[in-house]
Structure 1
Amino acid sequence: MPSSVVNLFILGKSIRGEAKIPLAELQNAVGEQQGSKIKSLFLKQYFQKHIAAISGQQRWTTIIDSVSTFEGKDPIVGSYKEVLVYFELKTAQENLRKFTFNYDAVVHQVITHKIFVYVEQDWLNGIQDKNKTQQIGIIQLDIPKGKIFPLEVNLEKGSWWTGFKGMVHLGLEHIKEGTDHLLFLLVLLLPASLTVNHKRWGNFGGTKYSIVRLLKIITAFTIGHSITLLIGVLGWFHLPTQPVEILIAVSILVSAIHAIYPVFPGKEIYVASGFGLIHGLAFATVLSNLNLDTGTMILSILGFNIGIEIMQLFVIILTIPWLILLSQTPSYRWIRISWAILAAIAAFAWITERLSGNANTISTAIQNNISIAPWGILLLAVTAISLYGIHWKNEKLQEI
């Protein structure tokens, strides 16, 4: 049977935790009948007795928030029932970063049982998401000594600078994995270097014209999402996740239609800032879930936003030169329309997925192939250089 797992979340004034315990192991420890009464007062009292933190000579207050069950999965055992315990550890002391974690649920009776302890959130040590979770120890019976020793936790090496760097990295990773955010911006930039002629996309407007328009659109999007990131994180305005995610997919669809036919020519700045407000609400949910105090949250907003901008600029720098080259060739019309259609298909797939709550073939394919995106940029570069070279050669031949 799998072991127990305890995840700790180091907050400003308390430590929150979640413990996952195989139901069968819990029943072995407390008796099958008592172990089956998940909602009973007995189990809350049991976990309150067997989960504790101590620093100096002072025992912290243990609060058991809830006890429930869910279906766990293990590659060896298969599906099995797990007990999920949410708890909180509080102390009047200011230092939450060095303490003795005295956890012996189940293992005090089932001597073969093990408890793997992880830190899933610790801002000062740059741990803000599950990808950075750190194992800090294992609690088990010391067979030669016949004792269960508590875990000594020391997180004092953390610093504000480490936490800030962690937030920058979180922003980088969020955009790196946020295909929909980048796709919206890139699709909106597809016609940015083109002029409008008789309500249709015309020819290349020139390098200066293109760069100025591109910078304006990027800046407008940045201002838009920065505003709602701040508003959302501070709790001044909130929308449920589902409508926000649907609106993000709609923003891609609108941008794709505009890339085919100029729906709002000359107004891309307003569209970018408007939809940027929606994207910012999605960014805000990432930070809101961290439950940070005001000072730490403000620094987190700054670091997270810097990370977002660095990754956006990195992707834009890698793609925009090739789009400017392509937009000077006759083939760009078909390339632009083809990319816009593909983006529209992706948008429809995401809208369907987010309305129904179920993944579909297209959304799954996108998710599974995100890793090949760098090859797409390489293909874009090769295509742009090749087509521009052919176009330049043809123009020179015509001059002769």
Structure 2
Amino acid sequence: MVATNLTDLFVKQRPYFISRPSGWLMIFLLSVLVSGLPTTSSAHPMPNSVVLLNIHTDRIDAEVQIPLNELQAAFGHTVNDSSAGLVARLGPQLKAYLLQHIRPKSTDDRPWIVSVDGLAVHETRNPINGVYRELIAQVRLTPPVGEPVRRFVFHYDAVLHQVVTHKILVSVRQDWARGQVADEQTAQVGVIELDIVNNRILPLPISLESGSVWMGFQSMITLGMRHISDGTDHLLFLLVLLLPAPLLVSGGSGQRFDWGRFGGVRYSLKQLVSIVTAFTLGHSLTLLLGSLGWLRLPSQPVEILIAISILVSAIHAFRPLFPGREPWVAAGFGLVHGLAFASILANLQLDTVPMALSILGFNLGIELMQLVVIGLTIPWLILLSQTALYSAVRISGAVLAGVAALAWVIERVSGNANGVTELIEHVANGAPWLLLGLALLAVMTWGRLRASA
């Protein structure tokens, strides 16, 4: 790579450059040139390192990402030739190097406790820039007793102490007390780089705004609502299971079950409440167990089971599979959906009190969004279910949901997206218009029925 060659040239000739006035001009030109070169990672532009901070009440968990081609020039060992076995081969040396160059201090110059808890190598390939490798280090930063965790001076010069064109981008990735819990909210707090004028690597003063329990709780409610609003598969399962809820079941005693006439408003509401309540109890239980780490399943089988739950509910909407037992089925599949919800919270790795509040807030957000969607949909289904048109609406909805479920099963088993699932997401973006169309159809059809009665 051109950037690496230029950096290596500068590092080898560093004493010469810094001893001549013209050297500073060369440093500036090199910095401009390198910063304008193409990057080889979608995570952050080369040749920069990234430090992502997760703020807790008594510590900071940091993820440090260092390009291996830059690290090799400063570390003194060959690390960029292959990612295989690097941690096993040089793990202790890498940890010692990071501990030497990561030195946070309190504002009164007292050192924090630093530990490197894990190392890994991430490798990506693309046809333009080839192979890009970076070291991922999990680092724990603990302040002295009584010192605030939100205000400190970050002394960090890994790679930069040798490769002066290097930069370290420092960002907060997670700060529960400030309501920041998602990666897309990552906020940069500063850049550590060489002060060319004074030939010094200046530490980064960090002073984060104070947060509160209420801000963290509120953010989890919002996250739960957003997760459901974006979770097309979760909502589709519930809506398709509710699709035949206003209808009575005909048949039995040796005859094939089928969906019959409208059962009345009271019957419909009773069915709706029992199904929604059962689903809530099911997913709340596994949300709690999964978030606390007491019950875990790999994500792929969970996602496949969610797609299967939609397929089963679609078949049931077409023709009764388990008449009268819909709440039990909703509760059973709710257990599966709850495991998917739990993975969101488990990945946050919160402390005990924030986790407890997060479980409550996230679940509350899920329920609020479910109630909003159901409240905006079910009245029109109850109106339509009193008309002859509802049979066509129910069957069409069941068939479309079944197709979507099969497409999701194929995608989640194979790991490859397909055109059907992409179309589903596109259609889901137009959900307000679909709801408006359903409401107009229900009002017009029901009004015509009343007029002819």
TM over 0.5: yes
Q: Which residue of 1 aligns with 2:262?
A: 204
CA distance in 2, matches of 1:75, 1:169: 39
In the TM superposition, 1:99-248 aligns within 5 A as 99-198=152-251, 199-248=257-306
What SS does structure 2 have at the residue aligned with 1:251? helix
Q: What 5-or-longer segments of structure 1 have no aligned partner?
A: none
| Residues 111 and 144 in structure 2, CA contact (< 8 A), matched pair in contact too | no
**Correspondence for 2:62:** 17
The one-letter code of the counterpart of 2:162 is Q
Distance 1:177 1:32, change over 3 A: same
C-alpha distance in structure 1 between counterparts of 2:361 and 2:227, whole Å: 12
> Offset at 1:77?
5.9
Matches of 2:131 and 2:426, distance apart in 1: 25
Aligned length: 395
Asked if structure 1 preserves the Cα contact closer than 8 Å seen for 2:80 and 2:133, the reply is: no
Q: Flag the 1:160–1:98 CA change in 2: closer, same or farther, 3 A.
A: same
Shift of the alpha carbon at 1:310? Answer: 0.9
2:198 aligned counterpart, secondary structure: coil
1:315 maps to amino acid: V
Aligned-partner residue type, residue 112 of structure 1: T
Taking the aligned partners of 1:362 and 1:34, their CA distance within structure 2 comes to 43
1:344 aligns with 2:392: no
Moved more, 316-325 or 241-250: 241-250
Matches of 1:155 and 1:15 in 2, distance apart? 12
Residue 162 of structure 1 aligns to a residue in which SS? helix
- Determine helix, strand or coil for the equivalent of 1:374: helix
Q: How does 1:270-289 map to 2 (within 5 A)?
A: 270-289=328-347
Q: Which residue of 1 aligns with 2:382?
A: 324
Report the CA distance between 1:259 and its aligned residue: 0.4
Give the secondary-structure state (helix, strand or coil) at the position aligned to 1:197: strand
Q: Tell me if 1:269 matches 2:320.
A: no
2:80 pairs with 1:80: no
Q: Specify the SS of the correspondent of 2:239.
A: helix
The structural deviation recorded for 1:368 is 4.8
- Aligned partner of 1:49 among 91, 100, 103: 100
Counterpart residue type for residue 45 of structure 1: A
Q: Does structure 1 conserve the Cα–Cα contact (< 8 Å) formed by 2:258 and 2:319? A: yes
CA-CA distance at 1:332 after TM superposition: 1.2
Distance verdict in 2 for CA 1:36–1:89, change over 3 Å: farther
Deviations 1:245-279 (A, max 9, x none): 22211211111111011111121111112221221
Mapped to 1, the partners of 2:402 and 2:394 lie a distance apart of 12
Supply the AA of the counterpart residue of 1:164.
Answer: F
Runs of at least 5 residues in structure 2 that lack an aligned partner in the other structure: 1-38, 40-45, 252-256
**SS of equivalent to 2:193:** strand
Cα distance in 1 for partners of 2:318, 2:296 equals: 33
Task: Give, in whole Å, the separation in 1 of the partners of 2:428 and 2:441.
Answer: 20
83-92 or 313-322, which deviates more: 83-92
- Per the TM alignment, residue 353 of structure 1 is displaced from its structure 2 partner at its CA by 2.4
Three-state SS of the structure 2 residue aligned to 1:33 is coil
Give distance in 2, aligned partners of 1:179 and 1:79. 36
In the superposition, relative to structure 1, how do residues 31 and 374 fare at CA in structure 2: closer, same or farther (>3 Å)? farther
| 122 and 344 in structure 1: CA distance in 2 versus 1, 3 angstrom threshold | same
Amino acid of the structure 2 residue aligned with 1:328: Q
Q: Are 2:400 and 1:354 aligned?
A: no
Counterpart-to-counterpart distance in 2, 1:14 and 1:363 = 42
Offset at residue 171 of structure 1 (A): 0.6
Deviation per residue, 1:149-197 (Å, 9 max, x gap): 2222223511111111111111111111211111110000100111112
Alignment partners' CA distance in 1, 2:127 and 2:427: 25
- 1:63 maps to which of 103, 112, 115: 115
Task: Name which of 46, 49, 73 aligns with 1:28.
Answer: 73
Q: How far apart are residue 374 of structure 1 and its match?
A: 2.3
TM-score, scaled to structure 1: 0.91
Does the C-alpha gap of structure 1 residues 342 and 65 become closer, same or farther in structure 2, counting only changes over 3 Å? same
Q: Helix, strand or coil for the counterpart of 2:436?
A: helix
Aligned residue identity for 1:322: W
8 Å CA contact 1:128–1:166 kept in 2: the answer is yes
The 3-state SS of whatever aligns with 2:378 is helix
Measured in 2, the distance between the counterparts of 1:190 and 1:155 equals 49
CA distance in 1 between counterparts of 2:448 and 2:130 reads 59
* CA RMSD, 1 decimal: 2.4
Bigger Rg, which one: 2
- Choose 29-38 or 343-352, whichever is displaced more: 29-38
Aligned sequence identity (%): 53
- Tell me the TM-score normalised to structure 2 length: 0.81
How far, CA to CA, are the matches of 2:127 and 2:297 in structure 1?
38
